[in-house]
Structure 1
Amino acid sequence: MADIHFELVTPERAVLSADAHMIVIPGSEGDMGILHGHAPVMTTIRDGEIRIYSNPTTISQRITVAGGFAEVSDAGLTVLAEHATLLA
């Protein structure tokens, strides 16, 4: 399966730009798993954790976010967060 492109941006800086198998975001109505080919959607995000998967079972990166918006388009997933912190 193809990867999806992911961009994470805060008002201060571009935090991350990467390709991933799947990204799970804390949507306002619950966690959302985003894969390549996902239907276009725009949603608010709640405070929580973004999980980036390099394959179906491996989380390669975790990021805490505080508020913002997420948009899925043909270009991939873009998250505009008020605040983001990369976790080890």
Structure 2
Amino acid sequence: MANLIAYVKSGKNRLKVLEILDKQEKLVFASDITDEVGIRVNHMGALLRELTEKGLLNNPNPSNKRQKLYEISEKGKEIVNYFNK
């Protein structure tokens, strides 16, 4: 858990993305997250891929390369709760 906390803390947009997804009650398109965070699409793609690989996000339909949907995982919720105590 400590490694994940350090990972999220070391990137300025990682926690922001997790907090956005934590507030959602539905699956969210990557483009919607990009608009809300205010960073370029290619940077957001890399960020979402990293967060998914770390187990902080779920991508329930990874075969769709054009319109990826994301949701926060239980591990991601724990990280958000840690920072928002």
Per the normalisation by structure 1, the TM-score is 0.29
By percentage of residues, which structure has more helix?
2
Instruction: Considering Cα pairs closer than 8 Å and 6+ residues apart, tell me whether 1 or 2 has the greater RCO.
Output: 2
Per the normalisation by structure 2, the TM-score is 0.30
By percentage of residues, which structure has more strand?
1
